[in-house]
Structure 1
Amino acid sequence: MQFNDKFVDLSSPKVMGILNVTPDSFSDGGAFVLADEAIRQAQRMIESGASFIDVGGESTRPGAKPVSVQEELDRVVPIIEALKQRFDTVVSVDTSKAEVMKAAVKAGAGLINDVRALQEDEALKAAAHAQIPVCLMHMQGQPRSMQMSPNYQNVVSDVTDFLQKRISQCIEAGIAHQDILIDPGFGFGKTLAHNYQLLANLAKLKQLGAGMLIGLSRKTMIGEVINRPVHERLAGSISGALLAVQQGAQIIRVHDVRETVDAIKILTTMNTYKDNRDER
C-alpha cells in the first residue's frame, strides 16, 4: 500500500507505534506533550521496528473531553513536520477533524486514522482530496458516553455492516478500495463480551476486502481479564496482537513496539515452516 512517498508491503504484518501528544490519554497522557520527548519516543519506536507512527492530539478514551481544532493543530502539526524531517517512516494522523487532516497531510502525514470513520463535517471530502490511505474505525456513540450501556443485536454483524457502508461511501467519494483500512474499534462502545466476540471473529471482517488495523494495546478489555493496571498489560496485549495477526490483521497499533515486533516475528517465522514436512 502506498502512503504518500512511502510503500509499505502489508503482505506481512506491521506494527504502528502510538504517539499521543495529549495530556489525558488513558495510558501515556502527558508523557510526550513536549516536542523533544515526542521525537525521542518516535525514534525509539522506529528503532524497535515500527513501520508507522500514529500521532494523536485528542484523547478518545472513555469520558474524554473534546479538543478545539486549533489546539489539536498546535499539538500534532509541528510533531508531524519534525518526524518527516528526521525519519523515513510513515506518519499517521489520528484525527476526525477535516481541518486537522488537511494540515497533517500538508505536513507529511501518509495515513488518516479516524475513529469516527470520516463521518464528521467535511472529513470524507478532505480525505478523498488528500489521496492517501484512510483507516475507518467503528465506534458506537462518542467518547464521553460510548461505554454507557453499549448494545448490539449482533456485534460482529453490526460492526461489519457499518464498515461495509462506510467503505462504499468512501469509494463513492473517490477513495480507492485498495487505500482503505478498517478497524473494529475495540473498547469504543463495546462491553467486554462485545470486544472478545469481535476478536474471535476478525476473519469475518477480512471478507470486506479491506486491510485491517487493530488496536487493543493496554486496553480495559485486557485489564479486566488479567486483572492488571494499565502499565502491567504487556503480556495480555501481545497475546491479543498475535490472535489478531492469526486472523489476518495487517497493522497492529501498540504502545510497546519492540516486544510486539519480536512476538510477531516468532509467529511469522513459524508460519513459514507450517506446511513444510521433515522428509528424512
Structure 2
Amino acid sequence: MGIVNVTPDSFYDGGKLKSDKDVLTQVERMLDEGATFIDIGGFSSRPDGTDISEQEEIKRVVPVIELVAKSFNIKGLSCDSFRGSVIKKALQHGANLVNDISAGLIDQSILPVVAEAQVPYIMMHMRGTPQTMKTLTEYDDLIHEINYYFSDRIAAARALGINDIVIDAGFGFAKTREQNFTLLKNMSLLQAHQVPILAGVSRKSMIYKTLDTTSDKALNGTTALHMICLQQGAKILRVHDVAPAMECIKLFEELQEN
C-alpha cells in the first residue's frame, strides 16, 4: 500500500505534493513499482498533528481521489480518514476502500457509510485522537487489550454488514517506542481474528528514534522491520517507499517457498 499524503504537516512527506502532476507522478511510480493499493489522506494523524475541519479535509482529499481514479484503474484506491462525511464524499468520487485510524470510535457515522457502500474496511488500533493519544499509553496487558479492542470493533462492523475487514496494529498510535516493539514481537497473536493484518511502520519514530537518526534516513530500518512484520503475519505493508518493500516481499516469499 503506497502512501499519498496531501497534507502540509505529515511527519515524513508533508507538503511535497504541490500539484496534480506531482500526485500523478508519485502514484504512477508506486504502481509501476508494484503497489496493489494507493492510500490517499488529507489529515495528518501524527502525534500533535494539526486538527482541521471536515470541510478542509474534503477540500484536500476528494479532488485528489477523483484525479487518481480517473487516471488509473486501481482496485484498492483507499481514503485515509476517520470521518464519515469525508469517506462518503471520497466513495462518491472514486475511492473503493476505507482506511480508518479510529475503527469507528471518533466518528460513529463512518461504519454505516462503509456498510452501505459495501467496500473493504481497514480498522486500526488507537486510543483517543491524534492530539491526545500520546497521553494514553498505559496498558495492563498490551496485546490482550489490543485483541479485545479488535474483537469489539470487528463485531460492531459485522453487525452492520461490513464483511471485508483488515486490521491495522496501529504502530505509533497511543503506544510508546518500547510498546511498539512489544507489539511487533507479538503481532502474530492478532491472527486469531482471522482477518488480514496491515502493518504500518514505514519511517516511523520507533525506527528513527531507536537508531538516533531522522525519518529521512530511516529506510534501511524500515526494510528491516518490514521483514519482521511479514514473518509475524502481516499481509499488507503500508509504505512510503514501494520498491524496497516489494524487494522485501519477494525475498520473504522465496523464504516461505524454500
TM-score, reference length from structure 2: 0.96
Higher relative contact order (CA 8 A, sep 6+): 1
User: Where do residues 1-280 of structure 1 align in structure 2 (5 Å cutoff)?
Assistant: 16-89=1-74, 90-119=76-105, 120-148=107-135, 150-176=137-163, 179-273=164-258
> What residue in structure 2 maps to residue 3 of structure 1?
none
Q: CA deviation at 1:105?
A: 1.0
Counterpart secondary structure, 1:264: helix
Q: Is the 8 A contact 1:92 1:110 kept in 2?
A: yes
Aligned length: 256
Q: Following the alignment from structure 2 to structure 1, what is the Cα–Cα distance between the partners of residues 108 and 195?
A: 24
1-structure distance, mates of 2:115, 2:18: 30
1:110 deviates by 1.5
State the Cα deviation string for residues 95-132 of structure 1 (Å, max 9, x = none): 01111111111111121000011221311111111100
Question: What per-residue deviation string (whole Å, max 9, x for no partner) do you get for residues 215-246 of structure 1?
Answer: 01000001122111111001111111111111
CA distance, structure 2, for counterparts of residue 240 and residue 102 of structure 1: 34
Structure 1: 5+ residue stretches without partners: 1-15, 274-280
Shift of 1:83: 1.1
Q: Percent of pairs identical after alignment? A: 39
Aligned-residue offset at 1:148: 2.8
The letter of the residue matching 1:37 is D
> Per-residue CA shift, 1:7-28, capped at 9, x if unaligned?
xxxxxxxxx0000000000000
CA positional deviation for 1:270: 2.0
Is this contact kept in 2: 1:23–1:33, CA < 8 A? no
Task: Give TM-score scaled by structure 1 length.
Answer: 0.89
The secondary structure found in structure 2 opposite 1:225 is: coil
CA distance in 2, matches of 1:201, 1:34: 41
In the alignment, is the contact (CA less than 8 A) between 1:48 and 1:261 conserved in 2?
yes
**Kept in 1: contact 2:127–2:136 (CA 8 A):** no
Greater Rg by CA: 1
Q: Residue 146 of structure 2 aligns to which amino acid in structure 1?
A: V
**Which residue matches 1:8?**
none
Alpha-carbon offset, residue 149 of structure 1: 5.7
Q: In structure 1, what residue type is equivalent to 2:48?
A: G
Query: For 1:258, what is the secondary structure of its paired residue?
Result: helix
Q: Which segments of 5 or more consecutive residues in structure 2 lack a partner in the other structure?
A: none
Whole-Å separation in 1 of the counterparts to 2:244 and 2:85: 35
